[in-house]
């Protein structure tokens, strides 16, 4: 189990918080300023995760990414809620390879890429299923899209506020 609560990270050289191969993850009421990579990166999880009430400012990549790969079974029951995200160099929130995901009540502002991105590569291990997106506020997402040489430049000339590449998703009270 992993619990990170009430911590401040300033200028992390990679991801500020990166639990991997954990069975139960709670990231709660943390503040991350200027992580050089992803603010919160939860990969290869083997159980549930709650990423709630965090403030993430100015990351060098995604603010939050939760994903699973081929090394472990698909992660189940992930809640990403009530986070404040401003100025990530890529996506606000990205998820991939998980099922039963709730993204709710987040404030996402001034992203370089999508505000919320449910990734899927077309195989069973990286598919996102049973995704609910509710009551999020997205402001100026994709606003600084694709500076020269940025890795997201080739994806699209006009990013979506919310991007999904699979089905079985539910949206409730989405404000953009």
Q: How far apart are CA 17 and CA 9, in angstroms?
A: 9
What is the pLDDT at residue 169?
Answer: 54
DSSP-based three-state secondary structure for 124: helix
pLDDT in tens, 49-88: 999 999 999 999 999 999 876 656 666 789 999 999 999 9
What is the pLDDT at residue 81?
Answer: 98
pLDDT in tens, 138-160: 988 886 554 443 444 333 334 56
Could you tell me which of 113, 109, 74, 115 has the C-alpha nearest to residue 93?
Answer: 115
What is the pLDDT at residue 60?
Answer: 93
* Arithmetic mean of pLDDT, 20-27: 89
Beta-ladder partners of 49: 25, 78
What is the pLDDT at residue 74?
Answer: 63
Could you tell me which of 24, 14, 66, 26 has the C-alpha nearest to residue 47?
Answer: 24
Global pTM value: 0.84
Could you tell me which of 113, 109, 121 has the C-alpha nearest to residue 56?
Answer: 109
């Amino acid at each position: 189990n992993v619990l990170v609560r009430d911590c401040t990270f300033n200028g992390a050289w990679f991801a500020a918080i990166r639990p991997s191969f954990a069975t139960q993850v709670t990231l709660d009421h943390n503040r991350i300023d200027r992580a050089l990579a992803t603010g919160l990166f939860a990969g290869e999880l083997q159980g549930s995760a709650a990423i709630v009430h965090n403030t993430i400012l100015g990351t060098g990549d995604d603010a939050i990414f939760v994903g699973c790969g081929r090394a472990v079974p698909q992660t189940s029951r992930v809640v990403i809620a009530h986070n404040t995200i401003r100025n990530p160099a890529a996506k606000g929130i990205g998820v991939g390879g998980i099922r039963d995901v709730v993204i709710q009540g987040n404030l996402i502002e001034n992203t370089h890429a999508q505000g919320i991105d449910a990734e899927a590569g077309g195989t069973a291990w990286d598919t996102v299923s049973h995704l609910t997106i509710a009551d999020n506020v997205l402001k100026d997402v994709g606003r600084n899209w694709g500076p020269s040489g940025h890795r997201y430049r080739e994806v699209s000339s006009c990013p979506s506020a919310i991007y999904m590449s699979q089905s079985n998703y539910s949206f409730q009270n989405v404000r953009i």
